Amino acid sequence: MTESSYYLVEKKGEVAWVYLNRPEKKNAMHMPAWQDAPAIYADLDADPDIRVIVVAAKGPSFCAGIDLMGMMGAMPELMEEQKGGVKWRFIPKIKMLQETMSCIEKCRKPVIAAVHGHCIGAGLDMISACDIRLCSADAVFCLKEAAVGFVADVGS
């Protein structure tokens, strides 16, 4: 199983639980969240003992979206004036971010999102890639990319 500083993977019989595990930051997605997902879902997809995957989260929120401060070092283009050359350099990074969601959609095993609390931005993108979405009564959904000047380009 792939190790991750963002995800906690637990196998319980035929069910794999993939927990977003950064509760101190409301599971905001920093670089390991984006980089680690493809290998995790590939491992689970290839595991013949796993029949279903449940995506859940530790702490009071499912996901607070992208950790903008945590991503600045890896994506300085976010702070540059958005001219053509900057956008061309940014495309490979966007494709990497998109693969984090696409790997869930491509997984041949059913993927169920179990949502509680806040599910914002990238969290909403993530659950959109799942086959089934279940939520608790306290679940709140929000997509704020347009309000902060971002294009919602990783799954919305």
Q: What is the extent of the structural domain holding 43?
A: 7-148
Residue 1 lies in a domain: no
Would the pTM count as exceeding 0.75? yes
Residue at 2 is within a domain: no
pLDDT of residue 28: 97
Q: How many domains does the chain have?
A: 1
pLDDT at 91: 80
Strands 52-57 and 111-115, sheet pairing: parallel
Domain contains 53 = yes
Backbone angles phi, psi at 100, to 5 degrees: -60, -35
Which domain CATH number covers 100? Answer: 3.90.226.10
**Would you state the pLDDT for residue 5?**
93
- Burial letters for 76-112: b for 16+ Cβ neighbours within 10 Å, e otherwise? ebbeeeeeeeeeeebeeeeebbebbbbbbeebebebb
Residue 93 has a pLDDT of 83
83 located within any domain:
yes
Q: Is residue 153 part of a domain?
A: no
Q: Is residue 96 part of a domain?
A: yes
Is the residue at 155 inside a domain? no
Which amino acid appears at position 1 of this protein?
M
Tens of pLDDT along 54-66?
999 999 999 999 9
Residues 6+ apart with CB under 8 A from 67: 25, 28, 29, 30, 33
> Are the CB atoms for 96 and 77 separated by under 8 Å?
no
Report residues of the chain scoring pLDDT below 50: none
pLDDT of residue 81: 67
Q: Is residue 118 part of a domain?
A: yes
